[in-house]
Structure 1
Amino acid sequence: MPSVKESRVPHYEQQYLDLMARIWREGHERVDRTGVGTRSIMGATMRFDLADDAVPLLTTKRVYWKAAAREMLWFLSGETNIRPLVAQGVHIWTDWPLDSYRRATGEAISMEDFEACILADDDFAARWGDLGPVYGRQWVDWPRYEAVPEAGERLYRRSARGEGHNQIAGLVEAIRTNPGSRRLLFTGWNVDELAGMALPPCHMTYQFHVAGGCLSALLFQRSADVVLGVPFNIFGLALITRMLAQQCDLEPGEIIWNGGDVHLYMNHAALIEEQLRREPAGAPLLRLVRRPATIFDYAIEDFVVEDYHPQAHISAPVAV
């Protein structure tokens, strides 16, 4: 007969820690795009239940969920400039335009001074704060192609910005009207516009499934930084699934996270080993306290996380 310890259901975070340990132990070491170096494996899956307001926030270190929620709202706005994020104290996208500015000008400006310029100077923000057609642009304003009448049917041009496909609005309508569809998805991987993006989408394709009155979701993430990115991405997947479920009169079901190139950066070694020594505990909850008119009308005040008592934050540098 199994002991109490052996029969206990593992904490939801244990699969994340097991994945981290596996990569650190078995991952292939290689030089990556950033030059920092990684240990990497190909292909990983984690599953989390969202029933009863459960939310898969890590407990072995603090995840700044409000920053992740503000980022999700920024995506849904279609915005591609860091200025609205910086104005809210969210710095997670600043490294890329800051690096571009330093390389272009040779100026060793600090992040604080760069962000101050972004907030204070409209022209500076327009020139240096824009990230190109990243996530939000593709999610809610994917470019349409329209025939040029005077040039014949085979010549097409992009329609003006603001007249593109709104994948999110279309998804909400499809879930409501055709819940059995196998096309309940959206993606940010627009091949024609990748070169213009500060960073091509890592969490690139989301697919949804309705069964038994519940909405479940699967995310495919082509590139997964397990220390910094994945905790945010899992929370973001849970959040948008909850938002969609509420808008479509469904209960939240399960989220499935799939990673392609799943990696740990070599300069995170001390942080990884510290986190792997910690034991996960607790069961935080995510409450949506208001149902706005549309999925585009949520505000940060609509989200409340309860019973979240993580262990101390573990900081880690971003590889740009």
Structure 2
Amino acid sequence: MTTHPEQQYLDAMRRAWEEGDERVDRTGVGTRALFGVTMRFDLSDGTIPLITTKKVAWKVAVKELIWFLSGDTNIRELVRQKVHIWTDWPMAKYVKATGDAIDRATFEQRVIDDDDFAAKWGDLGPVYGKQWVDWPRYTPVEGGLFRKEERGVNQIADLVTMIRDNPTSRRLIFTGWNVPHLGEMALPPCHMTYQYQVANGRLHGILYQRSCDLGLGFPFNIFEAALLIRMLAQQTGLTPGELVWMGADTHVYSNHGHLVEEQTSREPRAFPKFSFARKPESMFDYKLEDFVVDGYDPHPHISAPVAV
């Protein structure tokens, strides 16, 4: 009998909870962590790894991915679409700086309504999208100095070109880990490096994560990584192949014990089928309605707190 691919995830969650190294982390919450976890998901059968042992808000994940690809680094567009997953970081910064014990709804409304407030408090720094599509480029000038170019490197556009023109390259890579910018980011990239291989007409991908919250982060991370393979494959005329996920510090937060117990007690259901409603002109022209998920039948949602 074939093991359901989601079982890899449930096993990692259970193992992290029962055997993981107990660590004091940046958030102060604490984690139980494994180091070096690998999972593999076959996309060639038309399915997509959308976790079924709890309901995942997959449309929110799609909106986040489109936002990354736009190069935007301000939460304003996200909250306009009722996406709240990035709000906690800038709101915490605002509360710390001002002492104003604002609630999330009020903070988000101010971001939407007030241009100056949004520019100052809604910006996350040069996070994912900035590095993916506008990695800063500098040109040497006289006196040993460098001039910043108006437009940076669009790693995603370059990746599509490389897949088309040089599919056997070992450099089909993009990354968000721009060392000089890490200190300016609200959160340095967790899903940091993506690499692809073309073989026998199939596009395979690896996602390397330096840090992964198994309870809340992984379901979005694996789904969006699979979407990227499917989008890149569609844009380059290839067939989706295998997604390999590699996690370094792979952890469960110490206040997620209820989530672990409930989720790992559930039986995975069939992954849904995935298709596109159309073929957009480029990687940067996808809209929410282009993503079609069919047959998603998850177990109920499990609430758990986010560590900021």
TM-score by length of 1: 0.95
Structure 2 partner of 1:131: 124
**Matches of residues 94-173 of structure 1 in structure 2 within 5 Å?**
94-148=87-141, 151-152=142-143, 154-160=144-150, 163-173=151-161
SS at match of 2:255: helix
Structure 2 partner of 1:4: none
Establish whether residue 200 from structure 1 lines up as the match of residue 188 from structure 2. yes
Establish whether residue 254 from structure 1 lines up as the match of residue 242 from structure 2. yes
Compute the displacement of 1:156 (Å). Answer: 1.4
- One-letter code aligned to 1:192: P
**Matches of residues 197-236 of structure 1 in structure 2 within 5 Å?**
197-236=185-224
Q: Distance in 2 between matches of 1:188 and 1:77?
A: 14
Structure 1 residues 203-230: Cα deviation after superposition (integer angstroms, max 9, x where no partner) = 0000000001000100000000000001
Establish whether residue 244 from structure 1 lines up as the match of residue 235 from structure 2. no
Structure 1 residues 14-68: Cα deviation after superposition (integer angstroms, max 9, x where no partner) = 1100111111111011111100000001100000000132101111101111111
Please tell me whether the aligned partners of residues 206 and 246 of structure 2 are also in contact (alpha carbons under 8 angstroms): yes
Q: Distance in 1 between matches of 2:137 and 2:43?
A: 35
Structure 1's unaligned 5+ residue stretches are 1-7
Q: Distance in 2 between matches of 1:282 and 1:183?
A: 34
Q: Distance in 1 between matches of 2:101 and 2:79?
A: 20
Structure 2's unaligned 5+ residue stretches are none
SS at match of 1:47: strand
Q: Distance in 2 between matches of 1:178 and 1:24?
A: 43
Structure 2 partner of 1:3: none
Residue of structure 2 aligned with 1:308, choices 289, 293, 296: 296
Structure 1 residues 216-266: Cα deviation after superposition (integer angstroms, max 9, x where no partner) = 100000000000001100000000110000000000000001001000000
Q: Distance in 1 between matches of 2:55 and 2:244?
A: 22
Structure 2 partner of 1:274: 262
Please tell me whether the aligned partners of residues 193 and 208 of structure 2 are also in contact (alpha carbons under 8 angstroms): yes
Q: Distance in 2 between matches of 1:295 and 1:158?
A: 26
Q: Distance in 2 between matches of 1:267 and 1:108?
A: 24
Establish whether residue 57 from structure 1 lines up as the match of residue 50 from structure 2. yes
Please tell me whether the aligned partners of residues 24 and 31 of structure 2 are also in contact (alpha carbons under 8 angstroms): yes
- One-letter code aligned to 1:309: D
Q: Distance in 1 between matches of 2:269 and 2:165?
A: 40
Where do 4+ consecutive residues of structure 1 move more than 6 Å?
none
Aligned length: 308
Structure 1 partner of 2:34: 41
Structure 1 partner of 2:71: 78
Q: Distance in 1 between matches of 2:289 and 2:87?
A: 24
Q: Distance in 1 between matches of 2:228 and 2:62?
A: 9
Structure 2 partner of 1:289: 277
* Alignment RMSD: 0.7
Please tell me whether the aligned partners of residues 51 and 271 of structure 2 are also in contact (alpha carbons under 8 angstroms): no
Please tell me whether the aligned partners of residues 36 and 246 of structure 2 are also in contact (alpha carbons under 8 angstroms): yes
Q: Distance in 2 between matches of 1:270 and 1:157?
A: 52
Q: Distance in 2 between matches of 1:188 and 1:283?
A: 29
Q: Distance in 2 between matches of 1:21 and 1:267?
A: 14
Percent of aligned positions that are identical: 62
Compute the displacement of 1:158 (Å). Answer: 2.2
